[in-house]
Amino acid sequence: MRLEDHRIIDIPFNAAQHMGGAITPEVLILHDTAGRLTRGNSAAYLRRNDVGVSVHFVVERDGSCEQQVPTNRRANHAGKSTYHGRSGCNEFSIGIEIVNPGKMEPIDGVPLRGLAWWGQILTDGLEGDLAVKATPEHGSGVWMAYTEAQIETVTALARALFSGIPTLRDIRTHWYVSPGRKVDTNPLFPLEQVRNRVLGRDDPADLVAESGSIPMPAVTLARVATAGSRLNMRRWPSFNPNVIAGIPNGTVVPVLRSGLFDGRGWLCVQYDGLEGWISETYAQLL
């Protein structure tokens, strides 16, 4: 795969109806189509629809792929979304839709079956490999595993995009940028495996936090002052799903760095052997 003139040259290009203006892409956002598995069904809908949605790439179950929007043009794939404090992800991201039925409801009986939102019953081993799983981000449901061909195509596509677009710096999922509103990709997607194979470097979110903040003077302390019993400590200065610990109210912690992210002040602190970020709103510097 090779990017040329904002298109992957060995992937068919079929222009989407809803295509926006120029963007500078910084993040890849992965999605589930949450539609029927028939080859071309979701791609046709995303290409032409009455609700204004669109996407850059669609990856089928057999690993084949179609591009629908040039990588330097806006596609309407993320909706209401935030990436590390920056809202409106459509303005700086490339969307990749992976054909998958999305979250299904369980049905009593064996073999394992799932009821898709459009009323179809999918059975383990016939339409695809199914599993029951629950996570804080996804809730509980029946999920369909991605095919090996899909994972390989997504990985190769991401590598080609990162190779050809120097502004790209991260790979995330729809649920990550729209927490509580979206659950795709599903919990069976090997996100960290793909990220490691493509990025092969330090986490971009850590680099953003480092470059956007300054060291605090030695022996700076802050007391947690929240209305609740605990304050979330986060891996990055963002309300995306990245909580690593809860600091009890009233706890005094060392402050390492401070920074302003999307208009909000954050402090990097030490607690229980961990380093993480807390909102400055709920901390009193001592």
CA distance 15 to 104: 31
Structure-token pair, residue 43: 């791609």
> Phi and psi (nearest 5°) for 208?
-65, -45
Is residue 201 very low, low, confident or very high in pLDDT (cuts 50, 70, 90)?
Answer: low
Identify the pLDDT of residue 239. 78
If asked whether residues 192 and 218 sit together in one domain, one would say no
Q: Average model confidence (pLDDT) for the chain?
A: 92
Residue 264 has pLDDT above 70, yes or no: yes
If asked whether residues 145 and 266 sit together in one domain, one would say no
Contact 1, 160 (CB under 8 A): yes
Out of 147, 180, 201, a domain closes at 201
| Alpha carbon distance, N-terminus to C-terminus of the chain | 55
Q: What does pTM read for this prediction?
A: 0.80
Of all helices (H) and strands (E), which one includes residue 44? helix 41-47
Out of 201, 224, 248, a domain closes at 201
Residue 13 is classified by DSSP as B
What's the CA angle centered on 135, arms 130 and 136, to 5 degrees?
155
Residue 87 has pLDDT above 90, yes or no: yes
Residue 56 has pLDDT above 80, yes or no: yes
Q: Residue 115 forms beta bridges with which residues?
A: 105, 121
If asked whether residues 7 and 124 sit together in one domain, one would say yes
Burial of 145 (0-12, 13-18, 19+ CB in 10 A): middle
If asked whether residues 264 and 147 sit together in one domain, one would say no
Express each pLDDT in 207-242 by its tens digit: 778 888 888 888 899 999 998 899 999 988 887 777
Identify the pLDDT of residue 55. 98
Q: Which residue has the tokens 């043009």?
A: 73
Is residue 65 very low, low, confident or very high in pLDDT (cuts 50, 70, 90)?
Answer: very high
Express each pLDDT in 34-52 by its tens digit: 999 999 999 999 999 999 9
Residue of 33, 59, 36, 37 whose CA lies nearest to 46: 33
Structure-token pair, residue 101: 């039925």
Provide the domain limits for residue 120.
3-201
Express each pLDDT in 101-152 by its tens digit: 999 999 886 678 999 999 999 999 888 999 999 998 999 999 999 999 999 9
CA distance 270 to 278: 10
